[in-house]
Every structure is written in C-alpha cells, then in structure tokens.
Amino acid sequence: MQSGIINVLKPPGMTSHDVVSYIRRLYSIKRVGHAGTLDPAAAGVLPVFIGNATRLVEYLADADKSYRAELTFGFETDTGDDTGKIINSRPYIRPKLNEIEAALASFVGENEQIPPMYSAIKIGGKKLYELARQGQVVERKPRKISIDTISLITECETGIVFDVTCSKGTYIRVLCSDIGSRLNCLAVMSFLVRTRVGNFHLEHALTLEEIAANKEQAIQAADSVLAHLPAIMLSEQEAQAIKNGRSICCNQSGSDLIKMYDRESAFIGIGRETCQLDGHVTLTPVKILSPGL
C-alpha cells in the first residue's frame, strides 16, 4: 500500500472532497484524507494524505495557514463571497490608504469570529450550509481565532488585496466582511488562494495534471508533516519495543513529542517523552506507522 502526503494545488470549482475522490481513484486506494477544507471557489494548498499517513492528519490540521485574498467593497452576500446571492448593497466612500492599513492592523492578535451559515460546521447533527440552503439561519457562537500577520498587498479599483497568516478555523470570508465593517463599508471576499498550510507551500504544490503524470514522485514521505518535531534514532531492540507498544528509556530532547526512526532511518512513528519521578525520561509510543506500508 502506498503511503505519504501529496501537496495538491486545488483548482477553483472543485470541493476538497472532490480532490480526495480524484486522488482515491488515481491511486486506487481507499484511505485518503486532507488537512484543512478549502471553499469550492478558492484555490491553493490542500495537503492530501494517503494510506497509513492518514493517521497523521491531526498533526497538520491544527497548523497555521496563509492566504492571499481579494476584498471587494459595496455589497454583501449570503455566503460572504462573490459566488453568493447579493443581500445588501450601498454606495461607499473609498477608504484612504492609512485607514485601510490601520483597519488591517487592528485584527492582529486574538479575535472572536462568528462562523458563517455557509460552512461545514455541524449544529444539531446538520451542517450549517445544509440549513442555509433551506433558508434557515441559526445562532452561532463566536469562536476564538488568531491573526498572526496581515498586510496590504495592493489597492484595486473596487477593493484591496491582502495577505494573512492565521490560526485553524479562521474564515477569510468573515474576515473580509469584518474588515469592511471596520471601514464602514459592506464587503465580500472576491478571490482566495491558500499559499501555505504548516510547512506545505504554494510554490511546491502540484496540479492534478502534474500528479497524474508523476504519481510516484508526487508523494512525499509521511514524516514530512512533522518537520517541526525533533528526531531520535532507535536501536533494533528499542525499535521493536516501541512497535510492540512498550516504553523505553531515552535522553531528554526538551520536546513533548518526538519522531522515531530505526537504525536504517525508516520512520517508525511518534513518541511522547515523560520525565519520571526518579529523573529518568521514558519514550512512549503515540502513533506507530509500519515502515513501507
């Protein structure tokens, strides 16, 4: 069974699930998942996990993400982007450059954001977008998000283009609307490309056509998602103990989680370091991936 991660450049017009289905058919493999849903109209980085590597999705799902977005002033839609139905419009006085820059800067740090109705969040067992398509609007609780950086790239005739790096769960559609409100304008997101998810970058992402033409070369090693973790090389006996679910003694690395490799440098999985009362440090298996599977 093939196993690894594919840095997919999702095209606009496809859902993230469509991409997963395409990869599943292309590689004739059932175990396929992705980290971080992209709206159908959006493009950009969509890491897709196949085979045993799907067990590592959670280690990328919480990673921060970067986007380039276009915001258009003057109207709002039911979806928050320009693909939705216009529900309100009004003339606006174009904000000055210093006002735009100040508004963007005001979002840096911890914020609260109300998820849009057109989202995959479930309330009462139903996805919000399913309720929205039925004409229902339900109360949504604000969620905490974090904006690490946000910067103006250019001003357009009817809006702006900006870059943003943010935490998991941030809706750029909502951010665009909130920026508009800060500037006393109606606003929607009119373009979005995700430029990074964790250590997966747009410049290295592959189109579906490129993946189909180079199926084997498109797959990155499963441990590429764990570049931020320290690594430890285990002896044959230590590796076997870990694979059997037993803890071993180790030297402290200063990290909670650690990547584990056997003496042939094959990736085994993830372990957790724990300092015992007697001062010894033990390494306990958390996720084990059988090399080669």
Q: What is the pLDDT of residue 278?
A: 66
Secondary structure class of 174 (helix, strand, coil)? helix
Kindly give the interhelix angle for 172-182 and 97-105, rounded to the nearest 10 degrees: 130
Residue 245 Ramachandran class (φ > 0 left, ψ -120 to 50 alpha, else beta): left
What's this model's pTM, rounded to 2 decimal places? Answer: 0.89
Position 21 pLDDT exceeds 60: yes
Q: Which amino acid is at 145?
A: I
pLDDT tens profile 151-167: 999 999 899 999 999 99
Query: Given CA atoms 106, 107, 110, 112 in this order, what sign does their dihedral have?
Result: positive
Q: What is the pLDDT of residue 2?
A: 85
DSSP codes of every residue in 140-151: ---EEEEEEEEE
pLDDT tens profile 180-234: 999 999 999 999 999 999 999 999 999 999 999 999 999 999 999 998 889 999 9
More confident residue, 27 or 138: 27
| C-alpha Rg value of the chain to the nearest Å | 22
- Contact between 187 and 159 under an 8 Å Cβ cutoff? The reply is yes
Q: What is the pLDDT of residue 117?
A: 78
Position 253 pLDDT exceeds 50: yes
pLDDT tens profile 35-51: 988 989 999 999 999 99
The residues facing 200 across adjacent strands are 197
Position 126 pLDDT exceeds 60: yes
Burial class (CB in 10 A: 0-12, 13-18, 19+), 217: exposed
State both tokens at 169: 């769960």
Q: Within 10 Å of residue 76's Cβ, how many Cβ atoms? A: 20
Q: What is the pLDDT of residue 132?
A: 79
Mean pLDDT for the chain?
91
What is the rounded average pLDDT of the residues 15-36? 95
State both tokens at 78: 């039911």
Position 277 pLDDT exceeds 70: no
CA distances from 165 to 69, 148, 150, 194 (A): 11, 5, 6, 10
7-35 b/e (C-beta count within 10 Å ≥ 16 → b)? bbbbbeebebeebbebbbebbeeebbbbb
**Catalytic one of 18, 39, 148, 163:** 39
Position 292 pLDDT exceeds 60: no
Burial class (CB in 10 A: 0-12, 13-18, 19+), 137: exposed
Q: What is the pLDDT of residue 104?
A: 98
Secondary structure class of 128 (helix, strand, coil)? helix
Q: How confident is the model at residue 118 (pLDDT cuts 50, 70, 90)?
A: confident
Q: What is the pLDDT of residue 259?
A: 93
Q: What is the pLDDT of residue 164?
A: 98
Q: Is 62 a catalytic residue?
A: no
More confident residue, 113 or 253: 113
Q: What is the pLDDT of residue 1?
A: 59
Q: Which residues contact 39 (CB under 8 A, 6 or more apart)?
A: 81, 173, 192
Q: Within 13 Å, how many C-alpha atoms sit on residue 44's CB side?
A: 21
